Amino acid sequence: MTKRSDQSGERDGRAGSSVDTEALRAKYREEREKRLRADAADQYVEIAGIHAHFERDPWVEGELSRAPVTDDVDVVLIGGGFGGLITGARLRQSGVQSLRIVEKGGDFGGTWYWNRYPGVACDVESFCYLPMMEEVGTKPTSKYPPGPEIFEHCRALARKFDLYRGALFRTEVNDLRWDESVSRWIVRTDRGDTLRARFVCMAVGFLEKPKLPGIPGIELFEGKAFHTSRWDYGYTGGDANGNLTGLRDKRVGVIGTGATAVQCVPHLGASAQQLFVFQRTPAGVGVRNNGPVDPEWAERLAPGWQKRRIENFQTLTCGGYEEEDLVADGWTDVPKRVHDAIVAATVATGQASLPPEEIAAIAERIDHEAMEEVRARIARVVRDPATAEALKPYYNQFCKRPCFHDEYLPTFNRPNVKLVDTKGRGVERITKKGVVVDGVEIELDCLVYATGFEVATEYVRRAGYETTGRGGLTISEKWRDGYRTFHGLHLHDFPNCFMMSLAQSGYTLNFPYMIDVQAQHIAYVIGEAMARGARTVEASEAAEDAWCAALAERAAHFDRTFAEQCTPSYYNNEGRPDVKSLDRNFFFGGPTEFAELLAAWRAEGTLQGLVLER
Ligand code: NDP
């Protein structure tokens, strides 16, 4: 949507400053309106009861038969994804030997254990994303890591820090309870295990529990159906690299066009006899430009390079500035452009700094330009004009998780691939034979749900177990009116217990970075508690109050209109941002700022806010 022709944008791939802000705002509003639903986040269906089979683990064979374990250990980590792995590694580095990790899956890896769909990969650069690369010695093959390589890195991390010792796989915690009489957590599992732990750390992950769309008739479909995080290669053939030979004679449908669908659709398109992509909201898909790593360049990296690289990426993607952009990709490009435009405007006006409303206007203009480029690319790549138009996203770049891919759009030029645009309404119905859109039934052999994961549901529902602290207080009761923590990690009335989550904690698009910030902090506190001979370490009520108040104060300065004006997604509670709980949900500061705050707290040395009892 440009005032003039966007020929200049076509030449250099940039739309220039010709965007019509008012027209785009109106279009974004109109598109948002189409997608608002009264049931917001409640539209989704929990994978339980008649849908429970959607969560079955496809990566293990046979039944697990082992005797129940009874043990007494220093630390139990719940979850074997990056949270459990990195915390385990940091604890090992600080000398903790007695620990166990309890994990639902058949191996370490978390997200990367479950998600093995064709094309699975991460679009945060390998050298920033893979945690503790220097320690493990992993050598990525490409700029962006494919899923199997990340999964292998997780296993290598576990081997390096001896985390397989004592790990309990295919095991789900079903009760976690503080026993005051012995000052131990009692961890019970679905395998009959009873672990007594001095400390527990809950690392159950984010985007972990798959969800189904609220479409009537899901249970009626008689063809093959599965969620992308539980891919059925027994049916499709092939592997994470594609080559899905089992689909050669199949009519396949995929519901969803988020980051997961963007990666698997090209493989489905290449293999299926016929592919129908059911779209509710188009994804914003930028250029990916993946390529092989130059091994000589990697060899020359000086020790300490990863911390420096990650911090550079964090700073540039979270509102800060660095002269050098080490990663230089789609994530750092827009923030850098915003910075450069602000500097140029400041110089041009001769002011020391620009007023906040001018900065906001510049940021909006650059965002509009970036999304115009995304739309212009669609028009260039997708040959059928109606399909191209339907694929164009009309919302601000960060209303939804930006995607980066070079094969997704060309897939719609294949004669066997059809985009079924539901114009914001979603699929109408599922029948025993297929999917109904606009009253028309499309018959399918196979239906793939690329419909994402639970985000805003109750913590206990996502974790799968209740936690009971001092005096019988449960986490559900404690958080009935919203999150309460100290530093996002400690909970008053839950001694010796650490929570790893996004709640009241720093946020970053490079998840392993924030997990490591938390892991190092947890390892420090456990180390100090042990060194000081403490029986328990627990956040005081006053510290929790102060942290919640500090977050509310930060939230008051945060511009909520962005979330309120965005098209629905899990970023804004499906179009209904819960303004009250926003005060309590996030740290509202950059991840580096959060890391520095914790580092300063550790340097101060008195464990302020924590109560230690001998
Ligand atoms: P998302 O939640 O992002 O996407 C779910 C999709 O399902 C959306 O397109 C949604 O449409 C659609 N949908 C839901 N209900 C219906 C319905 N009733 N009818 C039609 N469509 C429907 O899940 P993903 O698994 O794609 O991604 C989750 C997250 O995982 C990402 O945000 C990202 O953080 C991470 N990820 C990262 C990757 C990477 O690094 N490249 C790759 C994959 C995932 P609508 O948009 O309208 O809600």
> Within 10 A of 411 (CB to CB), how many other CB atoms are there?
22
pLDDT tens digits along 19-70 = 899 999 999 999 999 999 999 889 999 999 999 999 999 999 999 999 999 9
The span from the CA of 527 to the CA of 524, in Å, is 5
Domain that holds residue 555: 70-209+455-613
Whether 92 and 215 have beta carbons less than 8 Å apart is answered as no
CA atoms within 13 A on the CB side of 537: 27
| Domain limit, last residue, from 367, 390, 416 | 367
Whose C-alpha lies nearest to ligand 1, atom 39? 122
Whether 564 and 576 have beta carbons less than 8 Å apart is answered as no
478 lies in the same domain as 589 = yes
Answer yes or no: is 317 within a domain. Answer: yes
301 lies in the same domain as 357 = yes
Q: Which of 129, 136, 130 is nearest to 92 (CA)?
A: 136
Q: How much is the pLDDT for 10?
A: 34
588 lies in the same domain as 483 = yes
Atom of ligand 1 nearest to the CA of 263: 42
240 lies in the same domain as 214 = yes
Question: Would the CB of 99 count as within 6 Å of ligand 1?
Answer: no
Atom of ligand 1 nearest to the CA of 261: 26
Q: How much is the pLDDT for 528?
A: 97
Helix, coil or strand: residue 253: strand
The span from the CA of 169 to the CA of 404, in Å, is 34
Q: How much is the pLDDT for 6?
A: 34
Question: Would the CB of 401 count as within 6 Å of ligand 1?
Answer: yes
Question: Would the CB of 207 count as within 6 Å of ligand 1?
Answer: yes
Answer yes or no: is 7 within a domain. Answer: no
Answer yes or no: is 1 within a domain. Answer: no
Distance (Å) of CA 121 to CA 125, 144, 231: 10, 7, 15
Best of 37, 395, 451 to mutate for ligand 1, by most ligand atoms within 8 A of CB? 451
Q: How much is the pLDDT for 427?
A: 97
pLDDT tens digits along 553-565 = 888 877 777 777 8
361 lies in the same domain as 241 = no
Answer yes or no: is 375 within a domain. Answer: no
pLDDT along the chain (614 residues), means of 10: 37 58 95 92 93 97 94 98 98 97 98 98 97 96 97 98 97 97 98 98 94 96 98 98 98 98 98 98 97 95 95 90 93 92 92 90 95 98 98 96 97 98 96 98 98 90 95 95 94 97 88 96 97 97 96 82 85 77 74 94 97 96
Residue 3 CA to ligand 1 centre (angstroms): 32
Q: Which of 277, 267, 290, 285 is nearest to 377 (CA)?
A: 285
430 lies in the same domain as 475 = no
Residue 258 CA to ligand 1 centre (angstroms): 3
Whether 464 and 174 have beta carbons less than 8 Å apart is answered as yes
Atom of ligand 1 nearest to the CA of 259: 26
Whose C-alpha lies nearest to ligand 1, atom 24? 452
CA angle, 205 then 207 then 210, to 5°: 115
433 lies in the same domain as 475 = no
- Max CA separation in the chain (angstroms): 75
Question: Would the CB of 261 count as within 6 Å of ligand 1?
Answer: yes
**The total number of structural domains that make up the chain:** 3
Whose C-alpha lies nearest to ligand 1, atom 23? 452
205 lies in the same domain as 297 = no
Atom of ligand 1 nearest to the CA of 122: 40
* H-run or E-run covering 70: strand 70-78
Answer yes or no: is 424 within a domain. Answer: yes
| Domain limit, last residue, from 314, 345, 367 | 367
340 lies in the same domain as 358 = yes
Answer yes or no: is 388 within a domain. Answer: no
Instruction: Rounding to the nearest 10 degrees, give the CA dihedral for residues 284, 289, 295, 297.
Output: -90
Question: Would the CB of 210 count as within 6 Å of ligand 1?
Answer: no
587 lies in the same domain as 505 = yes
459 lies in the same domain as 601 = yes
Residue 568 CA to ligand 1 centre (angstroms): 11
83 lies in the same domain as 158 = yes
